[in-house]
DNA sequence: ATCTGTGGCGCG
DNA sequence: AAAGCGCGCCACAGAT
């Protein structure tokens, strides 16, 4: 085996790029010294096609090499956001990665397999697995361990360099095989959306969400105080039926459902579950005390030490992992920590503060899912309400209850309509609606009937979505993202659950499509306008950006404009509204 | 000592 | 009081 050549200058790289200029796309891979862009770096760049690849010493070249590679070409990576994140950290803004044209063989595979049996059976979406399936190539991923912790390329063996080249070859072949399949399944557009959003997800992870660790600690201490007090209340409520420890507290473990149910039973309270609503429905103070304590414990445990310990030792910020396709609907997911389930009141949210001299701009789509439902169903009342800029829940309430309803005069009726809009739209039953509204089931039943009479298009659309899922075997969003139902019974999901998923997926998934289009447009717009704005969080229909105070106004306008444009790209008839707020800290939408 | 599944609950 | 959908994280329980 000959020693692969490692390029160290721009000239030879440009010559190589010229020699493959006929290729419809190039594949790119990197080898890094580790996974943390704030501690590790790119060591090696590999770029090429199925037949020709080169290696580039990452330390020997500058951002102009990255620009030369990307240069408005389609560049395909496997799990693109990781490579982009490392490249952004290594080469900075001058590399122009925020305007890159990107394809991602990993997300493409997720799009192709979404809900299909192979999605379940296949061992993940690793390049190794796909290379085997698509190209019959054997990749030995253990070789990659050899790169971690090394200081320079000279430590790499010729074997390791050959393996690095094979990863590019495999990525190219996999993507080339995926292209006709994407075309066949009508997924080309959404594959483009996912690729375009990859730089945005890279930026989200790289930049991180700025958090005031001291302020967080104070909020946590307050929550602990409340937790101690709810605990004392519990000890009192259960004093007759629990043993005491040395300090007079009860020895009951209130985190154990079994023990709690048993103890409640000894107090004469029969309840089937320790869910909050079940406890509250008993009307017993001891049950309410359990619910109150659990609420505090949830805060202390989920948003406690382990959460804030994730603040990065170098940046002091939270750098979560975003899964671009985290749900079968197409939604993203976030972990370590999850920044998509921070309590919505201001207690913890206000601890997310922009760095000195900067501000946060928070922008969220107003009523996104209901606008999508209006667009897809073409229901005249829903559509008219949005076109006229009306309050939809109030409009629906007026129609349902036969009199004028607005937020101020009839908050109760409006709240009912809101619960109906959100619940019934996705197949909630009369029982669920009754529980939600605290009304008898008979009344809920009548409310449902009235809703379906008043909005026949909503019902027809949802039932059609369920029917199509069974007949065609898949549901789809407005961008063509699909979820296959043919193999979903395997998960032991019953017919009812499947129809509800079928009703919900096009709506939730279209929302995800729109937000991803917006993310992609935003990073490009910020780069184009030369702003120092950075994406720092996204929560399904909300995007948070951090930028210098002086850029605040311009940045806020770009956010509004690009998010609205993203909505209009899919919703042709229904107007989209975006609420934008600028503040030193994260504010509730 | 770890692993897996479950119930519960934070968010959209 | 198993059912409106989608996540991730916590603690428990039962297993290895």
Strand C contact with A301 (CB < 7 A) = yes
A524 contact to strand C (CB, 7 A limit): no
C-alpha A192/C-alpha A195 separation (Å) is 5
Is the CB atom of residue A326 positioned under 7 angstroms from any atom of strand B? no
Measured CA A13 to C1' C8 distance, in angstroms: 43
Nearest residue to A84 (alpha-carbon basis) of A360, A361, A324? A324
Is the predicted pLDDT of residue A392 greater than 60, yes or no? yes
Nucleotide nearest to A272 (CA to C1'): C1
Q: Is the CB of A499 under 7 A from strand B?
A: no
C1' (C9) to CA (A17) span, angstroms:
47
Q: Nucleotides of chain B within 7 Å of a protein C-beta?
A: 7-12
For residue A48, pLDDT beyond 80: yes
Does A329 contact strand B, using a CB cutoff of 7 Å?
Answer: no
For residue A147, pLDDT over 90 is answered with no
CB A445 within 7 Å, strand C: no
β strands within A387-541, DSSP E: 474-476, 482-484, 534-538
φ, ψ of residue A430 to 5 degrees: the values are -60, -40
Backbone phi, psi, residue A322, to 5°? -100, 130
In this prediction, residue A145 carries a pLDDT of: 59
Cis before A337? omega within 30: yes
Q: Is the CB of A224 under 7 A from strand C?
A: no
Q: Which residue has the higher pLDDT, A427 or A90?
A: A90
The rounded distance, in Å, linking the Cα atoms of A559 and A553 is: 10
Looking at chain A, the whole-number percentage of residues with pLDDT higher than 70 is 97
Residue A503 has pLDDT above 70, yes or no: yes
What mean pLDDT do residues A474-481 have?
98
Residue A491 has what pLDDT? 67
Rounded CA-CA distance A480/A466 in Å is: 16
Q: Is the pLDDT of residue A6 over 60?
A: yes
Angle between helices A380-387 and A368-377 (to 10 degrees): 130
Q: How many whole angstroms separate alpha carbon A180 and alpha carbon A195? A: 17
Shortest-distance nucleotide from A295 CA to C1': B9
Mean pLDDT lowest among A270-279, A368-377, A407-416, A562-571:
A407-416
Quick one: pLDDT at residue A117? Answer: 76
The residues of A between 360 and 379 with beta carbon within 7 Å of nucleic strand C are none
Q: Which nucleotides of C are covered by protein (CB under 7 A)?
A: 1-13
The pTM of the whole model exceeds 0.95: yes
For strand B, list residues 359-398 of chain A whose Cβ lies within 7 Å of it.
364
Strands (E), A312-371: 321-323, 333-335, 358-365
pLDDT (0 to 100) of residue A1: 58
Mention every residue, 6+ apart, whose C-beta is less than 8 A from residue A425: A369, A370, A373, A458, A462, A503, A507
A441 Cβ nearer than 7 Å to chain C strand:
no
d(CA A404, CA A323): 45
Query: b/e for A111-124, b at 16 or more Cβ within 10 A?
Result: bbbbbbeebeeeee
Q: How confident is the model at residue A284 (pLDDT cuts 50, 70, 90)?
A: very high
Looking at residue A119, its pLDDT comes to 59
- The pLDDT value given to residue A142: 63
- Share the mean pLDDT of chain A: 94
pLDDT of amino acid A152: 78
Look at residue A141 and tell me whether its pLDDT is greater than 70. no
Strand, coil or helix: A274: coil
Distance A494 CA to B7 C1' (A): 20
Please provide the DSSP assignment of A107-123 as one string. HHHHHHHTTSHHHHHS-
């Amino acid at each position: 085996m000959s020693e692969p050549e490692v390029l160290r200058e721009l000239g030879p790289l440009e010559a190589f790029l010229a020699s493959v200029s006929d290729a419809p796309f190039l594949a790119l891979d990197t080898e890094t010294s580790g996974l943390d862009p704030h501690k590790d770096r790119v060591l090696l760049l590999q770029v090429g096609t199925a037949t020709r690849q080169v290696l580039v010493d990452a330390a020997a070249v500058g951002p102009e090499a990255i620009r030369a590679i990307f240069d408005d070409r389609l560049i395909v990576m496997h799990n693109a956001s990781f490579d982009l994140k490392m490249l952004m950290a290594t080469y900075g803004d001058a590399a122009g990665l925020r305007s890159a044209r990107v394809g991602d063989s990993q997300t493409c595979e997720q799009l192709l397999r979404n809900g299909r049996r192979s999605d379940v059976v296949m061992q993940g979406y690793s390049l190794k697995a796909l290379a085997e399936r698509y190209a019959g190539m054997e990749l030995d991923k253990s070789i990659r361990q050899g790169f971690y912790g090394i200081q320079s390329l000279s430590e790499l063996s010729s074997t390791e360099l050959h393996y690095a080249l094979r990863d590019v070859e495999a990525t190219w072949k996999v993507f080339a095989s995926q292209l006709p399949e994407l075309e066949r399944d009508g997924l080309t557009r959404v594959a483009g959306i996912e690729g375009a959003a990859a730089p945005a997800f890279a930026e989200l992870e790289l930049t991180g969400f700025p958090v005031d660790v001291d302020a967080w600690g104070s909020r946590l201490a307050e929550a602990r105080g409340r937790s101690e007090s709810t605990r004392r209340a519990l000890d009192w409520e259960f004093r007759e039926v629990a043993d005491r420890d040395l300090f007079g507290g009860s020895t009951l473990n209130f985190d154990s459902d079994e023990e709690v149910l048993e103890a409640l039973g000894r107090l004469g309270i029969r309840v089937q579950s320790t869910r909050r609503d079940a406890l509250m429905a008993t009307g017993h103070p001891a049950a309410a005390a359990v619910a109150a304590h659990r609420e505090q414990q949830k805060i202390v445990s989920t948003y406690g030490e382990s959460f804030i310990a994730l603040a990065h030792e170098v940046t002091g910020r939270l750098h979560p992992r975003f899964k671009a396709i985290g749900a079968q609907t197409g939604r993203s997911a976030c972990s370590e920590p999850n920044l998509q389930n921070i309590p919505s009141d201001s207690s913890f949210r206000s601890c997310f503060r922009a760095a000195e001299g900067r501000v946060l701009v928070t922008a969220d789509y107003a009523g996104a899912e209901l606008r999508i439902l209006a667009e897809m169903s073409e229901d005249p009342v829903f559509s008219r309400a949005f076109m006229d800029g009306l309050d939809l829940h109030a409009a629906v309430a007026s129609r349902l209850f036969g009199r004028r309803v607005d937020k101020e005069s009839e908050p109760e009726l409006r709240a009912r309509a809101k619960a109906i809009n959100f619940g019934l739209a996705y197949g909630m039953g009369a029982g669920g609606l009754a529980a939600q509204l605290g009304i008898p089931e008979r009344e809920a039943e009548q409310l449902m009937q009235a809703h379906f009479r008043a909005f026949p298009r909503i019902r027809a659309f949802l039932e059609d979505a369920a029917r199509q899922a069974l007949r065609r075997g898949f549901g789809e969003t407005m961008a063509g993202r699909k979820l296959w139902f043919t193999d979903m019974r395997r998960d032991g999901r019953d017919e009812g659950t499947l129809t509800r998923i079928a009703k919900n997926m096009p709506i939730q998934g279209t929302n995800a499509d729109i937000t991803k289009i917006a993310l992609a447009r935003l990073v490009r717009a910020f780069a184009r306008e030369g702003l120092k704005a950075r994406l720092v969080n996204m929560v399904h229909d909300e995007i948070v950006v951090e930028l210098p105070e002086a850029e605040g106004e311009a940045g806020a306008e770009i956010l509004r404009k690009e998010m609205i444009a993203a909505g209009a790209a899919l919703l042709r008839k229904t107007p989209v509204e975006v609420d934008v707020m600028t503040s030193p800290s994260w504010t509730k939408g």
